[in-house]
Copies of this chain bind each other. A is one copy, B any other.
Amino acid sequence: MGAMGDGEIAPIPGGITAARGVRAAGVHCGIKRQALDLALVASERPASVAVTCTTNQVAAAPILVCRRRLTAGRFAALVANSGNANACTGEGGLADAERMGELAAAVLGVPAEEVYVASTGVIGARLPMGKVEAGIRDAAARLSPEGGGEAAAAIMTTDTRVKEAAWEVRMPEGTFRVGGMAKGSGMIAPEMATMLAFVATDLSVPVPLLRRALQEAVAGTFNCITVDGDTSTNDMVLAFANGRAEIPAAAPASPALAAFERALREVCGELARMIVADGEGATKVVEVLVRGARSPAEARRVCLRIGNSPLVKTAFFGQDSNWGRIMAALGSAGVPVDPARVAIAVGDVSIVRGGVGLGAEAERAANERMRQRSFSVTVDLGLGEAECRIWTTDFTEAYVRINAAYRS
């Protein structure tokens, strides 16, 4: 709950259609054998939009299409499919992505430039456009203010759970809502596991303010579960704001903007943690906190180095406070460190001080903490004031099984 002054904020049920004036649907069109595989989200009035997307130089066709849209900054609808990433599909794939947008635009009676497109799934296969076209028609006919859940289900790939979050903000002038959905579960190699998130608000937020708010929210949430600058071919986070709440638009430095930024961060944070918790084959969610770094950038490098180390992550799986692997990881992060200043704790149990282990008793207590499904690892570099926090998972045999068999 926030202070009353700048908007009381609380979680509410639902996902993207928790925002008023948003309808959604999820259908099975046949890209996958059985499951829902096509989602449509439509705003009942033109909305402002902001997108952050992959920095991978091998960007998928829908990413290229969305980038073309961004200059206009207006959003009418989103069409997203799972089961096929439409990546590495050449000019033909690009035409398919454009066509996907055009088909949705035609069915909904909106300009094609305001329809965004996303895809996730196998790379390198062309979309079955006949099925996609039929799916878009079916989805348009099903659009509903209660359709958020099935839309969220339709963007899943190896996800085992639907990921939705929504918050409501109470302002003196009335309420507004922020709701969203996400997919993603390949947390071992986050740089290459597609992550999609779509967030809607019924507040009116001008494009420049929406862009800044989204960037800031992503930096502290989705980018804390992924490797900086190393993203999949299809990663995308999109936010749109349709003003349907009919309270005054967010203005620079206004209480509404501040409250919106907080609600957006909450929604993105919840969705990000859901992605980690649904990591492929994961049995643990681990918060890695690096403090005492000389700069935030250095803290982040060390944090990611530890959080992405297969040896550290297999030790998490083994419930083994093998801090030697953490020391080896932080020593190879490409950041100056002084081993003799390093302290490490699991939860509140110190296991290393001055770069040296505190003994078998401490390790046993730490192993005890690691039996929980969720725990934290804190590393103090002892060099400065900067810190960084990320969420990661353990690394399990099930991960290998899932990824070895994914296409077969």
Contacts and interface: CB of A to CB of B under 8 A. Distances in A.
Interface of A: 55-59, 85, 87-90, 122-125, 186, 188-189, 191-193, 229-233, 309-311, 314-315, 317-318, 320, 322-325, 327-332, 334, 336-337, 339-340, 352, 354-357, 395-397, 399-401, 403-408
A396 B395 CA distance: 12
Nearest to A397: B397
A88 B318 contact: no
Contacts of A122: 324
B314 A404 contact: yes
A315 B356 contact: no
A90 B59 CA distance: 48
Nearest to A395: B400
Contact of A403 (B85, B229, B311, B355): B311
8 contacts: A58-B332, A59-B331, A89-B356, A124-B323, A125-B357, A193-B311, A233-B324, A314-B403
Contacts of A331: 56-59, 233
A64 to B, nearest CB: 11
Contact of A329 (B192, B317, B339, B340): B192
A191 B397 CA distance: 21
A318 B189 contact: no
Interface centre among A309, A318, A340 (most CB of B within 10 A): A318
State the copy count for this chain: 2
Contacts of A401: 397
A232 B331 CA distance: 9
Interface centre among A325, A354, A404, A408 (most CB of B within 10 A): A404
Contact of A407 (B230, B320, B329, B399): B320
A400 to B, nearest CB: 5
Contacts of A356: 88-90, 124
Contact of A318 (B125, B231, B403): B403
Contacts of A89: 356
Nearest to A320: B407
A407 B312 CA distance: 12
A232 B327 CA distance: 10
Contacts of A87: 324, 327-328
Contacts of A355: 58, 88, 90
Contacts of A232: 328
Given A58-B331, A58-B339, 17 more contacts: A56-B328, A88-B339, A123-B322, A123-B328, A124-B352, A124-B356, A125-B357, A189-B309, A189-B310, A192-B311, A310-B399, A317-B400, A318-B405, A318-B408, A320-B407, A322-B407, A395-B400
